[in-house]
Structure 1
């Protein structure tokens, strides 16, 4: 009997050791994201996830936006990339080329939350061949912000066409302090990285203008870019800093009264209202040259093919796109939730900005979902736009550079 007990004890100890060893195989998810908001909810979401998923640890790293993709691409090549990350659609083709993404279709098929995702979002964020590499987590549509107080002062109404836009911008560009120089400008143009959406709304709206062969270098395509250049060089309705202005500059100028209009999305609306109250509103971008074009702004998550534990990474990103969690995520980011449940009860934005978003959806669009778009957004467009604005190249030459990128 004593011998049996010893053997049993040893066996139990061995089994316990095996279980311990199995438990010691930590399920870790290294997750990259980028939040500017000081009210960052990620720690609370991680804590909730880890409580619901014992044994999985999430290491969430907030990477600065200005270097986000440079760091992401470099880390993937070096083999030190995250297991999952926040990603935009224009980065998808390059990530696919790098064989960096794990398809999500098998998980989506078995996930109860798939039916909760807004009907068109999984279609919009799918790859060119229909494979799903991205799980939507938030979205926005760009529209035109305008200062209602400045418009009322001059008896102006929000512009609906490019001609009305130019007239309003010229009227709103004024010397209000009497020093002989304008101190208020009609429009805050984002000439730095990320400003391609401003240019696109005033250029890609034109009939027959896109990124296909000969479209940007056509008469209509060049006219669109020339319209932007003329607003700066001839009409002088952009601040002098416009060629280098980024997000912080255009928003700061608008809130501070240096500009009367700018283009962004509902993610800025809470700060706008906090700074300006009812002195700010929004409408869809103007019709230019026969049509309208505005950017559908996506933000999704992805699991990377080199992830140490892909199932754990999927559990984490699907958690972020589930009802309740997705609402908390978007309360901090200021964008719109992707789940039907959270959307139905959404009160995170003022009604006028939600309406401007919804009214812009019929003509919301994407840049081409190709590998060239990452280069366009990160380098080709900002460099060419800055050079065109300061007169180093013509509108024709700028569009020709983009044409070569997409069609050479």
Structure 2
């Protein structure tokens, strides 16, 4: 998942899936034994320095950009317009934009990386780019980023793109999670409405609220987006890791990322997932047969993100408020992170690529994109131009969470793919199928720790 709306799964052929699997294995081997992670020259990924950008563009550079095919087609239309505007604005760099609409974007990127066919710039869901950085497939971006822009970026943008002390990805927008509620319904039920992160509902209090709303006639008062909670889906991790964090648990050792044992299967994590399973088992959660639990009025509370604001506000004008996720014991916690741009190691002149990235990060262009997708602008300057987020705007909670430490990035480790897959599958088994919490998490831990051992715990140089 992304910080974007939970994706609708695409269909790939069996042959493509098999090929992607084999090439993924090749990528892993390349990361362990191949070139790039400590190669010399501009863009070297050695710990000693970042020489990606030197400030010069020689001649006219042609760069190719890959972009995932988003659920919100307005993003793609906006990016196409941005490319045309950029190309017309100068003569040093010409951008060709390509989308990958068929099959699975992640599989296509893995296959291209294994075959040495990555473009000059492409986007990744933020935590997924770290494996490519570890494998030496990307250039660090620190030397490209001007001090003024660095200071203007939301701290979360820099945090989620940083691995091993270096910046590998940068996005033009961020994301946020919260509970969408209908104040009119809560007031009729006598339910208090939190004013911010400091007075979030406790998980116990929230359970009582759900039961009270059922008494008010809402059979399944909570929408958890279960339509998107298929085994392995990123929504399970992006959407519900915050419950584990809020309870005091984690998906992996947050300090050294060398084991999930005692963290993902610890008592705090077990407690959080037990609560979620209890809500579903009691029928308090809409089963997700369609995507209209909230807009159709079946559920007056929706656990979702920024991408839902416009749709929900149109369904119930003047009757929508966003409040923090429940506090499972250690304060409310929310997710963050969305799609970020990264520069492959063997592409075109990175100064030319950065010229286009700098254009996308300009305040006007950030606002143009976030006006379309509803995401949180990546820079303070752009945020101040957006009525939804600045001051007392209706989505101000998302900015508050990103700035006050309530938001946490998904684990910043090259093992993230294995971590997310194991957690997502465990979540589906526990919450949807009612599987025993402890043993199911033990199996997830075993899968994660095997991946860590197989990759020698991902030494920072990729060796």
Alignment TM class, shorter chain as reference: 0.7 to 0.9
Gaps of 5+ in 1: 1-21, 177-181
Q: Is the 8 A contact 2:122 2:343 kept in 1?
A: yes
Q: Is the 8 A contact 2:153 2:378 kept in 1?
A: yes
- Report deviation, 1:175: 9.3
Alpha-carbon distance in 2 for matches of 1:381, 1:221: 11
Residue 417 of structure 2 corresponds to which residue in structure 1? Answer: 374
Q: Is the 8 A contact 1:35 1:333 kept in 2?
A: no
Residue 314 of structure 2 corresponds to which residue in structure 1? Answer: 274
Alpha-carbon distance in 2 for matches of 1:64, 1:200: 29
Alpha-carbon distance in 2 for matches of 1:342, 1:231: 39
Q: Secondary structure, in 3 states, of the residue corresponding to 1:343?
A: helix
Alpha-carbon distance in 1 for matches of 2:438, 2:222: 25
1:42 aligns with 2:79: yes
Alpha-carbon distance in 2 for matches of 1:345, 1:219: 44
Q: Is the 8 A contact 1:122 1:132 kept in 2?
A: no
Matches within 5 A, 1:5-404: 27-39=62-74, 40-54=77-91, 56-63=93-100, 67-108=104-145, 111=146, 114-115=149-150, 117-118=152-153, 120-121=155-156, 123-158=158-193, 160-173=201-214, 184-190=220-226, 191-192=229-230, 193=233, 194-207=235-248, 209-212=250-253, 213-233=261-281, 235-241=282-288, 249-250=290-291, 252-348=292-388, 351-361=392-402, 362-377=405-420, 379-391=421-433, 393-404=435-446
Q: Secondary structure, in 3 states, of the residue corresponding to 2:149?
A: helix
Alpha-carbon distance in 1 for matches of 2:102, 2:335: 19
Q: Is the 8 A contact 1:88 1:299 kept in 2?
A: yes
Aligned length: 370
Aligned Cα root-mean-square deviation (Å) = 2.8
Alpha-carbon distance in 2 for matches of 1:323, 1:187: 35
Q: Which has the larger radius of gyration?
A: 1
Q: Secondary structure, in 3 states, of the residue corresponding to 1:278?
A: coil
Q: Is the 8 A contact 1:323 1:342 kept in 2?
A: yes
Alpha-carbon distance in 2 for matches of 1:196, 1:380: 9
Report the structure, 1 or 2, having the larger helix content: 1
Mean Cα displacement is larger for which, 325-334 or 68-77? 68-77
TM-superposition CA deviations, 1:25-47 (whole Å, max 9, x none): 76132231443334331222111
Runs of at least 4 residues of structure 1 off by over 6 A? none
TM-superposition CA deviations, 1:231-279 (whole Å, max 9, x none): 111x2111234xxx7xxx55x3222223222222223212221222122
Kindly tell me: are residues 283 and 65 of structure 1, through their superposed partners in 2, closer, same or farther at Cα, counting changes over 3 Å? Answer: farther
- Report deviation, 1:141: 2.3
Instruction: Give the TM-score normalised by structure 2.
Output: 0.72
Q: Is the 8 A contact 1:284 1:357 kept in 2?
A: no
Mean Cα displacement is larger for which, 200-209 or 224-233? 200-209
Q: Secondary structure, in 3 states, of the residue corresponding to 2:122?
A: strand
Q: Is the 8 A contact 2:163 2:412 kept in 1?
A: yes
Alpha-carbon distance in 1 for matches of 2:434, 2:398: 36
Gaps of 5+ in 2: 1-57, 194-199, 254-260, 451-463
Q: Is the 8 A contact 1:174 1:185 kept in 2?
A: no
